[in-house]
């Protein structure tokens, strides 16, 4: 039996937590525009929450302000999974959106933001260094090198320590 790939192992890069509003519009079917909240992001896509379910494989135009830069970007995406939230709050729907035909300029903005999170000790400790290194491995070589250099400059405080027993 071949083990199923986990969602994390299929990721296109480093996924980072975010908290911003996303304006969502269905592509070409006349449905009304709605707002969502972004929960995390990578160069591959967004994890969003909404009050309305999003159809599987729905094509959307998404518009949001990039954290830190406040650049407004508009991207195309497709819903790849959707489920009710486990939260006990009101009816919240969680949806995974994969970016489609992402412009190089938007890709760079998202990648730079994700890499900037490596300077955040709380983020690094929360994700765990082993998981981060696995995510970083999937980055293109020049971005992978940049990510490794950030972690190296931070020092080894996040690396697992190997203590030898005393005799």
Distance CA 14, CA 113 (A): 10
Instruction: List pLDDT tens digits, range 109-140.
Output: 999 999 999 988 888 888 888 888 888 888 88
- Please tell me the predicted confidence (pLDDT) of residue 6: 46
Cβ neighbour number for residue 109 with a 10 Å cutoff: 18
User: Alpha carbon 138 to chain centroid distance?
Assistant: 13
CATH class of 1-157: mainly beta
How many Å apart are CA 56 and CA 9, to the nearest integer?
Answer: 21
Of 148 and 48, which is predicted with more confidence?
Answer: 48
pTM of the model: 0.80
Would you state the structure tokens that stand for residue 31, as one six-digit string?
């449905």
Residue 24 corresponds to which tokens in the numbers above? 């969502």
The rounded percent of the chain whose pLDDT value lies above 70 is: 83
């Amino acid at each position: 039996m071949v083990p199923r790939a986990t969602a994390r192992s299929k990721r296109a890069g480093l996924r980072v937590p975010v908290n911003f509003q996303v304006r969502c519009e269905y592509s070409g079917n006349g449905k009304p525009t709605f707002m969502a909240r972004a929960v995390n992001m990578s160069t591959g896509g967004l994890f969003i929450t909404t009050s309305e379910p999003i159809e599987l494989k729905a094509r959307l135009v998404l518009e949001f302000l990039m954290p830190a830069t406040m650049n407004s970007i508009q991207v195309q995406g497709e819903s790849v999974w959707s489920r009710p939230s486990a939260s006990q709050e009101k009816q919240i729907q969680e949806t995974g959106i994969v970016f489609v035909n992402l412009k190089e300029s938007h890709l760079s903005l998202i990648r730079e933001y994700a890499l900037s999170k490596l300077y955040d000790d709380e983020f690094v400790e929360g994700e765990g260094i082993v998981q981060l290194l696995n995510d970083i491995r999937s980055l293109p070589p020049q971005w992978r090198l940049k990510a490794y250099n950030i972690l190296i400059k931070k020092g080894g405080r996040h690396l697992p320590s190997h203590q030898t027993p005393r005799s």
